[in-house]
Amino acid sequence: MTYTRQNRAAHALRDVQITPNFLPHADGSVLIACGNTKIICTATIDEAVPPFLRGKGEGWVTAEYGMLPASTQSRMKREAAAGKQSGRTQEIQRLIGRSLRACVDMKKLGERQILIDCDVIQADGGTRTASITGAFVALKIAIHKMLADGRLAENPLTGSVAAVSVGVVGGVPLLDLDYPEDSGCDSDVNLVMLNAEKIIEIQGTAEDAAFSMAELAELIALGQKGIAELTVLQGKAFQAA
Amino acid sequence: MTYTRQNRAAHALRDVQITPNFLPHADGSVLIACGNTKIICTATIDEAVPPFLRGKGEGWVTAEYGMLPASTQSRMKREAAAGKQSGRTQEIQRLIGRSLRACVDMKKLGERQILIDCDVIQADGGTRTASITGAFVALKIAIHKMLADGRLAENPLTGSVAAVSVGVVGGVPLLDLDYPEDSGCDSDVNLVMLNAEKIIEIQGTAEDAAFSMAELAELIALGQKGIAELTVLQGKAFQAA
Amino acid sequence: MTYTRQNRAAHALRDVQITPNFLPHADGSVLIACGNTKIICTATIDEAVPPFLRGKGEGWVTAEYGMLPASTQSRMKREAAAGKQSGRTQEIQRLIGRSLRACVDMKKLGERQILIDCDVIQADGGTRTASITGAFVALKIAIHKMLADGRLAENPLTGSVAAVSVGVVGGVPLLDLDYPEDSGCDSDVNLVMLNAEKIIEIQGTAEDAAFSMAELAELIALGQKGIAELTVLQGKAFQAA
Amino acid sequence: MTYTRQNRAAHALRDVQITPNFLPHADGSVLIACGNTKIICTATIDEAVPPFLRGKGEGWVTAEYGMLPASTQSRMKREAAAGKQSGRTQEIQRLIGRSLRACVDMKKLGERQILIDCDVIQADGGTRTASITGAFVALKIAIHKMLADGRLAENPLTGSVAAVSVGVVGGVPLLDLDYPEDSGCDSDVNLVMLNAEKIIEIQGTAEDAAFSMAELAELIALGQKGIAELTVLQGKAFQAA
Amino acid sequence: MTYTRQNRAAHALRDVQITPNFLPHADGSVLIACGNTKIICTATIDEAVPPFLRGKGEGWVTAEYGMLPASTQSRMKREAAAGKQSGRTQEIQRLIGRSLRACVDMKKLGERQILIDCDVIQADGGTRTASITGAFVALKIAIHKMLADGRLAENPLTGSVAAVSVGVVGGVPLLDLDYPEDSGCDSDVNLVMLNAEKIIEIQGTAEDAAFSMAELAELIALGQKGIAELTVLQGKAFQAA
Amino acid sequence: MTYTRQNRAAHALRDVQITPNFLPHADGSVLIACGNTKIICTATIDEAVPPFLRGKGEGWVTAEYGMLPASTQSRMKREAAAGKQSGRTQEIQRLIGRSLRACVDMKKLGERQILIDCDVIQADGGTRTASITGAFVALKIAIHKMLADGRLAENPLTGSVAAVSVGVVGGVPLLDLDYPEDSGCDSDVNLVMLNAEKIIEIQGTAEDAAFSMAELAELIALGQKGIAELTVLQGKAFQAA
């Protein structure tokens, strides 16, 4: 059964809106909307580092992720009430933190930590990749705030990070899957790239049909195209901040 | 030391915006903004009741409350990561649930539960009262959805619920305290009323100076005025839904 | 349906017994019995303060509350076995701590903490208010112990704190509700006062019927009468310590 | 260094008081005081059994143990606030349950559970053995209540259970150690016996000096003497119930 | 800085030993040793499925992962004592479960669950991939036990699953990294394949240097070679079972 | 009903194998097999002590215990996934720690801690006593490592510790019970001795029939014989290390 996407081309991103400075209290923040997926991403500067880094003159970037109970089609259990974060939540926040650390020179950042929060207001697929894309802009705003106020002498950012999902649905390679596509896909790949050129993270899972090297290469090329477009949008949002 | 409020009168509410149908997945939802306090309130219909009500033919309304880590001036610890809800969170969500149950005829609601979620996006004082005011509209939208689709034959709502805080700062009675006022107040009272006429809940705390019956009466009158105004705004928001 | 109270007048307290120095190890302790409600209240002096107060030269008073599993009519689950304190428990212990802090000059107390424990041995309604009334005596005993041994130069107590519940049952205002009255009441108010004159905390909840300002004023007056009587009994118990 | 006990003979129990029916709500209850150790022991009948016994026609006896924070010389952390029971608490409550099950014919008890709660009000050594001695009386009261109201046709009790500690302090064998003796002992043995004749449980620990078989035999004989005396006191308390 | 591997070629696996039927109680079990990494993998058949599958006539495969505290170079904290599994642990056990589900026809398995346990006795890199390779053999043994005793009519296995890590160290692509190589690598990829032909899961992370599509293709080809060798070894171990 | 043991005499140990240096990373380690019970015991030296010992110049020995989920006949729930250690686990690890502390001069050990881990790979009764017997050898290896490298000037070991279970099955006293014997026994005693001469710990439980002093003496004598044999085997294993 072949799948034909309605409303947008197979190789098109959803409509993306990145609103900078969405929350007044955070050092950096955006609201990112990728179609119906909407996430508040914030960066908070903490002048202390985790114990394993104390006294080493190096910084750290870490992330937390959460979903509002009503963000999903059927209400999710609130993790704070359940008393623990799910394995999925922990997996995603580890991915966000790792992805963003890949573009930061920790020595230049100095002995401080940047805490990223990604909170999903509305979920329609691709929340982990949209979190990374949005959080990079929040991180950049927070870092430039420190450059502006003199806390940082040199820019620790070594590049630009963005992410997107790609997958095969009904045999057709698609860019930027929404929730119905993601649920019914044969396989999907989450791709995080530096400067839309090199791979930082790739996580590919065959849900129903294992994929060949050739299929993987096609998906990665499609993802790279989407990431190049997202990188431009990140730049514009940062300019508007 | 006397306190003079800037930008609005001592007896004025902050600017209030209630945006109905803010989230597409919930049965009822609003975004309520009271000045810089912004909260997403949703109502989700669950066709099952808690164990203690099974088979009794009566419904239930319960609430959960949370704050985004970056909603406050200095970032709060994420409760899901900490592994438990604070005492303050539990106290607030119990208050929200109790307040809303006061306007629902549980027999008419039938054996189903309505779950209220109040998630604070941005905090500047008065989050518990704004949660109640917003959640009532979300609840009403959800109930009217059930009336429209025939799941409910009769309206179980017995009135309208809204809430506001009042307090004394530097000897001056104030309506609808923002965070700096709340932090520096002599005493404050959270007031929940039915139809802007009768008291459902009153929680008064003297932080620095115990208050007399006369002072309490003055504060309650001030709160009732604010609740009357909020009730009108709730009605308009519901009409717009 | 009108309610007629058996065995005591509508405006009468239950029989109150406050036994000072009930436990030998605590710095201050009482057993308070209000009718069939019996609570052990203790005050323990800790020469350290919580982290947020370190180095500020100010003290703190905080409280914990618990119920023996067999204190209630049908056995309660043990919270230590369940692995967490209920929302109700946390709400009550926050109330006790806040109420007692209202009568202590924290600068005069100096950089030390007083830990209050209220453990319900037998429950028949009004455990939170009896906890406050008993805990004040335990606190006063502990403070006078420090005055006697020279650890305190000046008395940090700024007044006397007591609490009582009032409510409307079957349309009749009643002082000091027992458990059957509390379960069946239209509305009830927990009242905490300083020197039986001014309100420190008021928590009023309409269970079945919202109340007017006039009804609230009548209940507060009734509560104030009861608190005046309790204050006398606290004084006698302290004298006997 | 030889130890000479003040106030009582080396082979004497502390003063023991067992007050039956101490709490009105439990099916069986006592307050047991062994010197300055004071414990409330209750038995609650639950007409359901744990899952592993459902449908087998057999009953169960289980126990929980707790200490009031202020029961000890320096205040203990409240386990409910800490979010878990300590290893010591779990060990003790397992011991109490096992000891009492040894005197109950589970087929005669029928498919119901008896929950024992032992809550230490004041601790001065020997809380686990006093818990067992007191809990047996509470259990017997609860069982005779069921015999009286016809829920039980036949008495499931197969004997009488009591417990005591014995130990060597400064080379001297002592019966019924108080807290200072227990802290400074060379070795101590907790002994639980059926009908003051046969051993149900023995737990011996050499804190400072391992002991020989001969020393153990001497301690057991001393413990048996104490248990015989406790068994008489249990009988009197039950008669008074 | 170029890296030269000692003791084995850059494209060689470590010495692999798969000992079938290592534990007598499990339905299927192996001890897998990949160099100094040693893991006990077991498969336990549970004739019940998780709630979300009840009544659907389909089975499930799920996995848990743990490390002995002394398995690592410096002792790890015991997760059972810490009271929770780390994010890393949860991520790995989700990966193991997902990988094995890719080779099982859930309808043919029928309404039962297979629980996989992977417990690391000794860790020297590659524990997640060795867990998958070993667990597949344990799973196959358990399934053939059900085929032999008639519980299964038809083999639900749709292929063979194995996994390996590949990475770049000092610019050199390496197969099957040990712990020192993994700690110092530029990037590494965990690869899970079906029948050594198609990709089920790929997880690539650039620790120090993002990688290009060409580099990724080279690593995948190297991994595929290793997985082909592991698949042969799995077959021999199963024959020996 | 009398019980006749198959395959070995009533007073014989199971076949015991102690493999020293089983794990490369721990400071001391053994694999101990007592029949089908197999346990990995390790000792890890930690150059810090718990808070209550800081600055006192004394050391500490503590233990943790766990079972692989597949070690038992029907799979056990993983404690790390359940989020807590069972009461049984805590009781056993407290016993192991206490037993080993009895043979260590803490002043000679100096301000450092030795962490013992006992992980059951396969369980067939007697896991707590085999853990103690194995852990003593691991502890001795770790201590001799410190003597060899000069961290310790003097041997802190004051003797040799081993443990065994004895019990009565069908009226017959047996040494070293396996799981079926342990499940069906009238009573069993776990015995820990110093130098096979003196009792460090004795834990006797009558499951079905309380025992007399004479029966206890017989069991202890039988246990002492077994411990003497184990002590010889421990010595040989240590020599081979």
**Does A128 appear as a known binding residue?**
yes
Tell whether C197 lies on the interface with B, counting CB pairs under 8 A: yes
Instruction: Compare CB distances from C23 to D40, D46, D122 and report the shortest one's residue.
Output: D122
Structure tokens at D194: 């059926």
Environment class of residue E41 by beta-carbon count within 10 Å: exposed (0-12), middle (13-18) or buried (19+)? Answer: buried
Q: What is the mean pLDDT of residues B49-77?
A: 95
Tell whether B83 lies on the interface with A, counting CB pairs under 8 A: yes
- Nearest-CA distance from C54 to chain D in Å? 21
Q: Compare all CA atoms of chain D with the CA of C116 and give the residue at the minimum distance.
A: D70
Tell whether C107 lies on the interface with B, counting CB pairs under 8 A: no
pLDDT digit string, tens, across residues C186-233? 889 999 999 999 999 999 998 777 888 899 999 999 999 999 999 999
Within 170-189 of A, beta carbons closer than 8 Å to E belong to 189
Q: Over 60: is that where the pLDDT of D1 sits?
A: no
pLDDT digit string, tens, across residues B185-219? 888 999 999 999 999 999 999 877 788 889 999 99
Q: What is the mean pLDDT of residues E118-145?
A: 98
Tell whether C72 lies on the interface with D, counting CB pairs under 8 A: yes
Instruction: Compare CB distances from F94 to D84, D87, D216 and report the shortest one's residue.
Output: D87
Any domain includes F157: yes
Q: Which of the four pLDDT bands, split at 50, 70 and 90, describes residue B1?
A: low
Q: What is the mean pLDDT of residues A150-172?
A: 95
Q: Which of the four pLDDT bands, split at 50, 70 and 90, describes residue F1?
A: low
Tell whether B106 lies on the interface with C, counting CB pairs under 8 A: no
Which residues in chain D have their CB less than 8 angstroms from residue C138's CB?
none
Instruction: Give me the DSSP letters along chain D.
Output: -----SSS-TTPPPPEEEEES-SSSSSEEEEEEETTEEEEEEEEEESS--GGGTTSS--EEEEEEEE-GGGSSSPPPPHHHHTS--HHHHHHHHHHHHHHHTTB-HHHH-S-EEEEEEEEEE-SS-HHHHHHHHHHHHHHHHHHHHHHTTS-SS--B-S-EEEEEEEEETTEEEES--HHHHHT-SEEEEEEEETTTEEEEEEEEESSS-B-HHHHHHHHHHHHHHHHHHHHHHHHHHHH-
- Nearest-CA distance from E177 to chain A in Å? 18
Q: Over 80: is that where the pLDDT of E196 sits?
A: yes
Which residues in chain A have their CB less than 8 angstroms from residue B78's CB?
64, 66, 80, 117
Q: Compare all CA atoms of chain C with the CA of B212 and give the residue at the minimum distance.
A: C198
Pairing mode of beta strands A37-46, E37-46: unpaired
Q: Over 60: is that where the pLDDT of D165 sits?
A: yes
Q: What is the mean pLDDT of residues E51-77?
A: 95
- Nearest-CA distance from F24 to chain E in Å? 8
**Does E127 appear as a known binding residue?**
yes
CA atoms within 13 A on the CB side of D64: 21
Any domain includes E234: yes
Q: Over 70: is that where the pLDDT of B46 sits?
A: yes
Q: Compare all CA atoms of chain E with the CA of A214 and give the residue at the minimum distance.
A: E217
Which residue blocks in chain B are alpha helix, DSSP H?
Answer: 79-82, 87-101, 106-109, 127-148, 179-183, 213-240
Whether residues C83 and D81 touch (CB distance < 8 A) is answered with no
Neighbours of chain E (3+ CB pairs under 8 A): A, F
- Nearest-CA distance from B210 to chain C in Å? 5
Whether residues C201 and B197 touch (CB distance < 8 A) is answered with no
Tell whether E21 lies on the interface with F, counting CB pairs under 8 A: no
pLDDT digit string, tens, across residues B115-141? 999 999 999 999 999 999 999 999 999
Neighbours of chain F (3+ CB pairs under 8 A): D, E
Q: Over 70: is that where the pLDDT of F109 sits?
A: yes
Which residues in chain C have their CB less than 8 angstroms from residue B213's CB?
199, 217, 220-221
Task: Supply the pLDDT for residue C1.
Answer: 57
Structure tokens at D207: 């804190």
Task: Supply the pLDDT for residue B29.
Answer: 97
Whether residues C78 and D26 touch (CB distance < 8 A) is answered with no
In chain D, the percentage of residues whose pLDDT exceeds 90 is: 88
Any domain includes E91: yes
Q: What is the mean pLDDT of residues E17-43?
A: 96
- Nearest-CA distance from E133 to chain A in Å? 17
Q: How many domains does chain A have?
A: 1
Instruction: Compare CB distances from F210 to D90, D102, D216 and report the shortest one's residue.
Output: D102
Any domain includes E10: no
Q: Over 90: is that where the pLDDT of B78 sits?
A: yes
Q: Which span out of A202-206, D115-119, D178-182, E169-173 was modeled with the highest average pLDDT?
A: D115-119
What is the interface size between D and F, counted as CB pairs within 8 Å?
89
**Does E128 appear as a known binding residue?**
yes
Domain span at residue E114? Answer: 16-240
Any domain includes F8: no
**Does C126 appear as a known binding residue?**
yes
Question: What CATH number is attached to the domain comprising C61?
Answer: 3.30.230.70
Whether residues B205 and C210 touch (CB distance < 8 A) is answered with no
Q: What is the mean pLDDT of residues F207-230?
A: 92
Whether residues E70 and F40 touch (CB distance < 8 A) is answered with yes
What distance in Å separates the CA atoms of residue B126 and residue B128, rounded to the nearest whole number? 6
pLDDT digit string, tens, across residues D115-153? 999 999 999 999 999 999 999 999 999 999 999 999 999
Q: What is the mean pLDDT of residues D20-24?
A: 94
Whether residues D36 and C24 touch (CB distance < 8 A) is answered with yes
C-alpha closest to that of E190 among A132, A211, A202: A202
Task: Supply the pLDDT for residue C190.
Answer: 97
Q: What is the mean pLDDT of residues F186-206?
A: 94
Any domain includes E166: yes
- Helices C213-240, B213-240: axis angle to 10 degrees equals 130
- Best of F205, F211, F215 to disrupt the D interface by mutation (most D CBs within 10 Å)? F205
Q: Which of the four pLDDT bands, split at 50, 70 and 90, describes residue D171?
A: confident
Any domain includes F164: yes
pLDDT digit string, tens, across residues D74-115? 999 999 999 999 999 999 999 999 999 999 999 999 999 999
Q: What is the mean pLDDT of residues F95-114?
A: 97
Any domain includes B6: no
Instruction: Compare CB distances from B211 to C98, C189, C199 and report the shortest one's residue.
Output: C199
- Best of F75, F88, F178, F179 to disrupt the E interface by mutation (most E CBs within 10 Å)? F75
The angle subtended at Cα C171 by Cα C168 and Cα C177, nearest 5°, is 30
Q: Over 90: is that where the pLDDT of D40 sits?
A: yes
